[in-house]
Chain A
């Protein structure tokens, strides 16, 4: 009886905490949504007007038509998908090698991988740009794809941690069974780390999706511009059209949000490998 009661109380408390935190997290988003539905006079009203009345749904249509959304979207998709797919092929492989294979030079490469994250990009940006210029790639989407596609230190470090958490017995047992290293990686270890691998894929898509500086520097033709550059259209030196900007931002978030909603099941259902260490 008392056990049941404490369990009920606990469930209640967990839900209460979740609800309150969720309210805190949601408030800025709600404000963003409300702003996207206001017209200019509601936006600048003083004291501020919380609720849009009347509701200006047409802001979304206008935001949509003002920036050439389909083209910006397809450019952004190309950059994010290719960089994420490339990264998914290289980064987990490198992370696995750094975590689960023993080879000379491993600690050095790992240290360098961590070390390169400690220097702010502001000072490496120009040498990198000059490198891409010498490779003849400035003015194309390729610099935005190829750099993450060869691996991203943050994700390599993250995946290394996850691989380190996997039991080595599996690897050893498979080796004794004569499995090739490629097979062990691809069919065993990568699958076990799949929730984390997918998470890094999502993070890379997000990083490319919201990247402003990369497209700004490397693209010289508005036909190649990406969504984050498009958002700039709502800002000028006189003012910012916040209602349209927020509407466009929501449109921009939507695809990733849908992707996340479907992916998050795999994060949580993920894997259950019982008995390995028991």
Chain B
């Protein structure tokens, strides 16, 4: 009945399985042995006796930032031989969810210190997931005036300190000088008012037949998030007295109306495909002539298109005065469940010191004025950004910060696609986030 089996026989499969099992079983055994001896990530995680002296520090940065963090950590190790510092690169820590850190804290395998987006501090502190370092700050007489206000204020939630700021950034308008010349604009006279910005953008836009070859400006691209535009138009997002979100501040509504009207002048689908989703910075590639960027943008341009001749200026405002920017950045925190908070605290302090800050300034802006002045004295771009940094705004330090951010971005996405009226959209954001704040 059965004519032939031209297939692999189970017995053959099993013998492959066994031999492979033996082969890899051995290599795995040696692997396991190697890690249990050599790696303190495991030993710290499982809480062995050596944990008291080891500090396990997680970060998720690669490239220049990864090198800067490693250099700062190495400097710490050299100055603190009594502590065994174990720096672990974690592939994805906080970007888009931070499942790694969440599961580690929930499971009890948290490290001692983490390179942590300051933006998340309020919600994590509210959940009791960060170690309160207020008393350590006062015991060691750390001076908060050492830091930019925007950087310091983001580590303080309900008057308690939950980490130390270690890097910062700031937003400005980048513009392509060659494009300015082509369009007959003065490359030394970038737009100062929103009206000029709009006019220059129109002049810089190149349309060939039915398709756009270049956009003067895609306002929401790169760092042009809704926080940027709301503040630029004079709006605000939070009332510290009432503890309520004010996303529908009249000036914010004006900003969103302007964005909607700007989008309507052009082909929104073409603009959309050229903004962040293109996986390439559109300004660096020369397909937009102006962009809201931060200090990282110039590094990006250097990597992608070093020949690009660009300038930076404060983001234009409706009046041309009261320029405003905002800052975010990183901190180092001690998560709940850390085995060695004392050692971790030494690391936190060290990261705010001059030596570590100079290392970190190779990738970011320092949180310390004097360090920036020293490192960036010959850097006109960063000097321009630094000039507005002292008055930089910071996002509301509230447990629902992520929700507010996403809701604002989504309101902007809907508005520029003509899926809603700016006033109603921002009313919706306000109601939703305030309800969530009451609930949490």
Listed in ascending order, the chain A residues whose CB lies under 8 Å from chain B are 40-41, 43-46, 74-75, 77-78, 81-82, 85, 88-89, 125-126, 129-130, 132-133, 136, 138-141, 186-187, 190-191, 194-195, 198, 212-213, 215-217, 220-225, 229, 232-240, 242, 266, 269-276
Contact = CB atoms under 8 A, between A and B. Distances in A.
Nearest to A271: B7
B439 interface: no
B109 A232 contact: no
Given A78-B28, A276-B1, A194 B305 contact: no
A240 to B, nearest CB: 7
A144 to B, nearest CB: 12
Interface residues of B, number: 59
A273 B2 contact: yes
Contact of A82 (B9, B13, B24): B24
A217 B42 CA distance: 13
Nearest to A229: B91
Interface string B285-327: 1110000000010011001110000000000000000000000
Contacts of B209: none
Contacts of A242: 279
Nearest to A141: B28
Interface string B112-144: 000000000000000000000000000000000
B279 A126 contact: no
A40 B99 contact: no
A65 to B, nearest CB: 15
A interface SS class: helix
B21 A191 contact: no
Contacts of B41: 139, 220-221
A272 B99 contact: no
B61 interface: yes
Contacts of A75: 31
Given A195-B7, A216-B91, A237-B296, A46 B286 contact: yes
Contact of B109 (A43, A78, A220, A224): A220
23 contacts: A43-B280, A44-B305, A75-B31, A78-B24, A129-B106, A133-B108, A139-B41, A140-B32, A191-B7, A194-B8, A213-B99, A217-B100, A220-B88, A220-B90, A220-B109, A221-B39, A223-B34, A229-B91, A232-B92, A233-B62, A237-B65, A239-B281, A273-B3
A136 B48 CA distance: 13
Contact of A224 (B31, B64, B89, B305): B31
Contacts of B3: 272-275
B180 to A, nearest CB: 17
A269 B20 contact: no
A82 B21 contact: yes
Given A194-B8, A269-B6, 20 more contacts: A43-B304, A78-B31, A85-B17, A129-B103, A129-B106, A133-B107, A138-B109, A212-B91, A217-B100, A223-B34, A225-B91, A229-B91, A232-B62, A236-B66, A237-B61, A238-B299, A271-B5, A272-B4, A273-B1, A273-B2
Contacts of A89: 17
A63 B296 CA distance: 24
B28 A126 contact: no
A40 B280 CA distance: 11
B92 A240 contact: no
B177 to A, nearest CB: 17
B102 interface: yes
A255 B144 CA distance: 55
B6 A138 contact: no
A129 B281 CA distance: 37
Contacts of B13: 88
Pick from B1, B5, B296 the residue with the most CB of A within 10 Å: B1
Contacts of A212: 91
Interface in B19-69: 20-21, 24, 27-28, 31-32, 34-35, 38-39, 41-42, 45-46, 61-66
A41 B303 CA distance: 9
B81 interface: no
B107 A276 contact: no
A41 to B, nearest CB: 7
B39 to A, nearest CB: 4
Given A81-B24, A141-B28, A238-B303, A272 B6 contact: yes
A94 to B, nearest CB: 16
Nearest to B18: A85
Nearest to B307: A41
B65 A236 contact: yes
A77 B28 CA distance: 10
A276 B2 CA distance: 7
A88 B287 CA distance: 52
Contacts of A236: 61-66
A139 B109 contact: yes
A223 B103 contact: no
A224 B90 CA distance: 12
B284 interface: yes
Pick from B34, B91, B109 the residue with the most CB of A within 10 Å: B91
